[in-house]
Structure 1
Amino acid sequence: MNTATDHPRHRIVIVGGGAGGLELATRLGNTLGRRRQAEITLIEKKRTHVWKPKLHEIAAGSMDMSAHEVGYLAQSHWHHFRYRVGEMVGLDRERREVLVAAHVDDEGLLVTPQRTFGYDTLVMAVGSQSNDFGTPGVREYAMRLESSVDALRFHSRMVNACIRAHAQTVPLRPEQLQVVIIGAGATGVELAAELHRTTREVVAFGLDRVDPNKDIRVTVVEAAPRVLPALPARLSQATENLLGKLGVEVRTNARVAEVLPDGVRLADGQFLPAELVVWAAGVKAPDFLKDMAGLETNRVNQLVVRPTLQVSRDDDIFAIGDCAACAWPQAGEEILVPPRAQAAHQQATHLMRQIKRRLAGKPLEDYRYRDFGSLVSLGEFSTVGNMMGGLIGGNLMIEGLFARLMYLSLYKMHELALHGFPKVALDTLARLIVRRTEPHVKLH
């Protein structure tokens, strides 16, 4: 390992401010940055952070993003690291430099020029994006839930669709107020359940010419034989039964052939009219990672990492979270650590300790993923999941209030990692107070 540098302090550059990247920058800043033992720089093209598993709530309007977003500039100031706005577009491994594109604002004005950032330790934490598998029309006509901007855009279009339908004097077109969600994983199922409640609450605020039970329809399309294929079959069936009771139509064993301006065409020729289409199927790492600077990637662009979380071809580069292809030995076979928030949290915690060992010249320890199961929130109606996952064979299945509390605790763990107990406690209390005086759904 070569840690020699012309700089007085070790330079740690983290690319990507998602759950893992921001937690790691915060923890390193609170320790190495505060003591001036290292320079920690976080590179992220967005200005604020929102926990990705909450995006479906923002899209449905059941969560006010302003009460939950974290400003990178303020976070970096309070926790002793540097935030630099921009998008990584290149890497020079020989010079150990990250190339960041020029940043332009919404009006086309230059904010920052193209820049390079030198590093001694580089951490890639750029997350993932949806994989459309080349399906025609997805890029042009389907919305995604990859960022808070996507979620807010969907919510705005949903509210506008309700207002438009209320104001018009002619009968509704076949696709009006119809929503098709492609993909019945956690995101798709959670969004469908939240939309059942929030669309009705939006309509209740004076849009009385819209009948939510008759006019609004949500359809979930899944290519697999059942919804939530990653969960045990019993929980999948319980979830599908609940969605049915909510009036959500579920189409399993249905492959999408094309997304059109007014709906979705299935491979069997059926046409599903829709004013709003959400693509929530498939996951891959960002395209720019593929073959970047000779680093090894897999078929979905993830960086192949060793058990130490170092990439396979460079000791100075680490990868965590959804963009890392990290092996997870299971019952004689080797699969990859799943792209979950809990994995990013664990890897950030592990890597914080390993970077300290790296600076001290000690050998690095291997990362071992601990599977605590999966939880899927169905809004106020229910929460389902399997606790402890691979630790006990995935046989402990939970539903209802206890599952809901465990789901909420995952988000609180993320908040605690970023802010500490006093701020989290006060923010939680403030949200509870505001919730008693404000609408429970965002109306704009």
Structure 2
Amino acid sequence: MPEASTPASSAATTTAPASLHQIVVVGGGAAGLELVTRLGDTLGRRGRAQITLVERARTHLWKPLLHSVAAGSMDPGEHELNYLAQAHWHHFRYRLGEMIGLDRRRKEVWVAASHDEEGREITPARSIPYDTLVIAVGSVTNDFGTKGAIEHAVPLETPEQAVRFNHRLVNACIRAHSQPGAVRPGQLHVAIIGAGATGTELAAELHRTARQVVAHGLDRVDPERDIRIILIEAADRILPALPERIADATGVLLKDLGVEVRTRARVSEVRADGVCLVDGAFIPSELVVWSAGVKAPAFLQDLDGLETNRLNQLVVTPTLQCTRDPDIFAIGDCAACPREGHTTPVPPRAQAAHQQASHLLRQFRRRLQGGPLEPFRYRDFGSLVSLGEYSTVGSLMGFLVGRSMFIEGMFARLMYESLYKMHELALHGGRRTVSSTLARGLSRRGGPQVKLH
């Protein structure tokens, strides 16, 4: 990139005390936020390093919750975490902005200017120096270049997108109730493209919440006649990345709910009135969610020579260091981390992000002391799929229970919820996690069980 276009040449460089080791983490998702919080509580609090989080959003919401926000069964405001407050409580710095480039020679991260809703500048373009850099920018939706996907399908990458879909759903129900004629074919149909965990869980949640919305006085809408949920998957079965037994059990539950599942169905185009398949079939639907795949953000492809794969992920060594720069680490969905005994990298899952953050916490202590870094070893604790209030199914891996064990029902539900509690514990500690859980439970009793606005 020409010198005239770099933030360092057009705006001030953020400075920090020269005596402290500067650890900069870019991305405040599950991996990045857990890492800066725990680094701040240890190295930052004791004055052994300066910890900085660079993040373009103001608040954090655990990504596996987005399908519940989209369905309307969860109020994001009750679960969002404010980065500025978290930084103050846990001894790290929060810097608002989006990473757009990197100068490895000068060891600087380039951050774009940020603006408010009215277009006024909040923070200028600038560069932030580092001694150790961790890139944890997560993933974005991979629409594979499908025609009309950007214009007509809603991805579920951010809380804003999940809220946007929920608003569209509620508005569609109100519109159908208020219009002079009958409900049009496809008007209240929801097509979910991609039957991975997010798409499958969303389908089950929507079956319940769409009916609850209609139950609030929208009596001109007949849920059994007018509301239809279609789950579309290109693979041979739903949940292709999970064990077949989980997929089979989930498929039975979806069928009982009346969710239509279409496998071996490849989408050729998304239109305003529905979804076109490669085989020529057309699925009428005015509400479309795209959850068919993920990839790392495109800017990683040209990040000062760092190695990436075809999904834009940064290729890292077993120690989570980028292959071409030992001072730069990558974790979470944006990292292609080798997995011992497997030809494919560590999967982009919340448990992997949590484990990588915990691993780097230990390794950075060794790094500051000049010790060698240990390799990261991913431990698969199993797979769980929640179908809202209907059921939860999954499996626990052998080293936990002596063998691989299929679980479902209440026990599986408790295990599923414990994943989120582990994330909260890493961010808040035990006392605050318990108090916030009780507060949310009490607040839900006082209002409708589905968001109506």
TM-score interval, smaller chain? over 0.9
1:234: how far off? Answer: 2.3
Question: Would you say 1:323 and 2:327 are equivalent positions?
Answer: no
1:393: how far off? Answer: 10
In structure 1, distance between residues paired with 2:66 and 2:398? 24
In the superposition, relative to structure 1, how do residues 392 and 225 fare at CA in structure 2: closer, same or farther (>3 Å)? farther
Counterpart contact for 2:340–2:377, Cα < 8 Å: no
Report the equivalent of 1:339.
348
Bigger mean CA deviation after superposition, 97-106 or 224-233 = 224-233
Report the equivalent of 1:96.
107
SS at match of 2:118: coil
1:250 to 242, 256, 261: 261
CA-to-aligned-CA distance 1:344-371 (integer Å, 9 cap, x gap): 0000000011111111111111110011
2:144 to 113, 117, 133: 133
Report the equivalent of 1:358.
367
User: In structure 2, what residue type is equivalent to 1:167?
Assistant: S
Report the equivalent of 1:80.
91
Report the equivalent of 1:232.
243
SS at match of 2:339: strand
In the superposition, relative to structure 1, how do residues 6 and 68 fare at CA in structure 2: closer, same or farther (>3 Å)? closer
Write the mapping of 1:32-431 to structure 2, written as runs, cut at 5 A. 32-330=43-341, 333-388=342-397, 395-431=404-440
CA-to-aligned-CA distance 1:15-40 (integer Å, 9 cap, x gap): 00000000000000001111111111
Counterpart contact for 1:179–1:276, Cα < 8 Å: yes
In structure 1, distance between residues paired with 2:365 and 2:396? 32
Counterpart contact for 2:143–2:149, Cα < 8 Å: yes
| Residue ranges of structure 1 left out of the alignment (5+ in a row) | none
User: In structure 2, what residue type is equivalent to 1:324?
Assistant: A
Counterpart contact for 1:374–1:389, Cα < 8 Å: no
SS at match of 1:41: strand
User: In structure 2, what residue type is equivalent to 1:131?
Assistant: N
Question: Would you say 1:8 and 2:19 are equivalent positions?
Answer: yes
Structure 1 runs of 4+ with >4 Å offset: 389-394
1:175: how far off? Answer: 2.2
CA-to-aligned-CA distance 1:52-76 (integer Å, 9 cap, x gap): 0000000001011111000000000
Counterpart contact for 2:339–2:346, Cα < 8 Å: yes
* TM-score (normalised: structure 2): 0.95
* TM-score (normalised: structure 1): 0.97
In structure 1, distance between residues paired with 2:389 and 2:225? 22
1:6: how far off? Answer: 7.9
SS at match of 1:327: coil
Cα RMSD of the aligned pairs, angstroms, is 1.4
CA-to-aligned-CA distance 1:223-243 (integer Å, 9 cap, x gap): 011111122222212111111
Report the equivalent of 2:449.
440
Report the equivalent of 1:27.
38
In structure 1, distance between residues paired with 2:149 and 2:293? 13
In the superposition, relative to structure 1, how do residues 307 and 393 fare at CA in structure 2: closer, same or farther (>3 Å)? farther
Counterpart contact for 2:183–2:221, Cα < 8 Å: no
In structure 2, distance between residues paired with 1:95 and 1:272? 53
Counterpart contact for 1:384–1:400, Cα < 8 Å: yes
In structure 1, distance between residues paired with 2:101 and 2:241? 35
In structure 2, distance between residues paired with 1:320 and 1:65? 25
**Quick one: percent identity of the two aligned structures?**
67
| Residue ranges of structure 2 left out of the alignment (5+ in a row) | 1-15
Counterpart contact for 1:257–1:266, Cα < 8 Å: yes
Counterpart contact for 1:43–1:85, Cα < 8 Å: yes
CA-to-aligned-CA distance 1:108-146 (integer Å, 9 cap, x gap): 111111010000000000001111111111111110000
1:429: how far off? Answer: 0.9
1:372: how far off? Answer: 0.3
In the superposition, relative to structure 1, how do residues 265 and 392 fare at CA in structure 2: closer, same or farther (>3 Å)? farther
In structure 1, distance between residues paired with 2:387 and 2:371? 46
In the superposition, relative to structure 1, how do residues 389 and 339 fare at CA in structure 2: closer, same or farther (>3 Å)? farther
In the superposition, relative to structure 1, how do residues 334 and 390 fare at CA in structure 2: closer, same or farther (>3 Å)? farther
In structure 1, distance between residues paired with 2:262 and 2:388? 21
User: In structure 2, what residue type is equivalent to 1:148?
Assistant: P
User: In structure 2, what residue type is equivalent to 1:186?
Assistant: A
